[in-house]
Amino acid sequence: MRLVTYRANVLEAARLGAIVDTMVVDLENLGADNGIHLPDNMLDFIDLGPSAIKTATMLLEQNRANWPVGTAVPVQNVKLLAPIPRPRKNIFGIGLNYVEHVEESSRSLDTSADLPKQPIIFTKPPTSVIGPGDAVHHNAKITQQLDWEVELAAIIGTQACRIEEKDALSHVFGYSVMVDMSARDCRRAGQWVYSKGMDTYAPFGPCIITADEIPDPQTLDLWLTVNGEIKQKSNTKFMLFNVAHLIADISAGMTLEPGDIIATGTPAGVGAGRTPQEWLWPGDVIEAHVQGIGTLRHPIVAI
C-alpha cells in the first residue's frame, strides 16, 4: 500500500490517503462510508499497528471498482506533503554507511578512511522536514557548501527495544525516500547536527510504501540528479550495515517507537567528494529516487 499525506486545497487540513492507480483515496472517509473507523493522519494510522494496514487494504480492494462519493480525487489535483509532516522525534541519520562514500569522505571531509565498526548515528530535528516539491533553503550567510545525499528511509511500526537483528524487519512499518541535505562548512568540532539539521534539510516522501511490498530493503536501486545530471547511483545492497542491523543497533540502547524514522545513509557521489567539489546554489533542482517508492524533486531557493 502506498500511503501519503495530502491537502486537497490550501484551506483544508492535511489528510491521510492511499494512492491507487491515479487516485488519492481518503482513508478516513473510505472507512466511514463502510462503517469502519480509520484515522485521518499517518502517525495515528501507524499507531494502530498491522491491523490498520490489513483493514485499509481490504477496503481499498473492495471499493476499487467504484469509489464512494467524496473518497477519491485525482492525484494531480492534490498537494502531497511529507508523509509524516511533523515527526514526533528527531530523525535518526546514519553516516558513512556505503563503502565508496567512506573513501570519498576521507578524502574531502577529514573522516577516517577505515570502515566503521559500528553505525555512525546523528539526528535531524522534526523542523528539518519538507514535503515533495518544497524548496530547500540556501542561506548564503550560513553556508557556501550545500550538499546532497539520497537515502532510503525506514519507518518504525511497532516498538523496538533491544531487538535481535533476525527480528528487526518485523518492526518496520514501511519505507520512503529522504534527502539528507548537508551544509559541509557548518560542522562544529566534528559534530554534524547543525550542518544537517537546518530547516528544509530533510526532504521526505513522496509516500510511505508499506513493508509488505518491500520484503527485502537491500535490493533497491537509488539515484540522485542535479539539474538532470546523475550524481549518485547505487543499490542498497552496498550498505555496510543493513536496515535490520541498524534497527538492532539503535534499539540496543534507545527504544524505537512507532513513527520513528531512520535515514539509512547515502552512497558515493556527493558534492564534497567530487574533483573539483560541487555545491548546490539557488536555481538548482535536485531529484532523488528509490526503486519501488518514488521520486522527490526540489528547487534550491535563496533566503
Average pLDDT over residues 42-67: 96
Letter for the amino acid at 280? L
94 membership: H or E segment, kind and range:
strand 91-95
57 membership: H or E segment, kind and range:
helix 50-63
Handedness of CA 188, 191, 192, 193 (dihedral sign): negative
Backbone angles phi, psi at 112, to 5 degrees: -70, 145
Query: Residue 189 pLDDT > 90, yes or no?
Result: no
DSSP string, 200-262: T-EEEEEEEEEGGG-S-GGG-EEEEEETTEEEEEEEGGGBSS-HHHHHHHHHTTS-B-TT-EE
Instruction: Report the C-alpha dihedral over residues 137, 138, 142, 148, rounded to 10 degrees.
Output: 90
pLDDT in tens, 97-153: 998 877 787 677 767 767 889 999 999 999 999 999 999 999 999 999 999 999 999
Average pLDDT over residues 49-58: 96
Name the nearest CA neighbour of 169 among 228, 140, 210, 203: 210
Average pLDDT over residues 266-280: 95
The pLDDT of residue 99:
84
Has this prediction a pTM greater than 0.85? yes
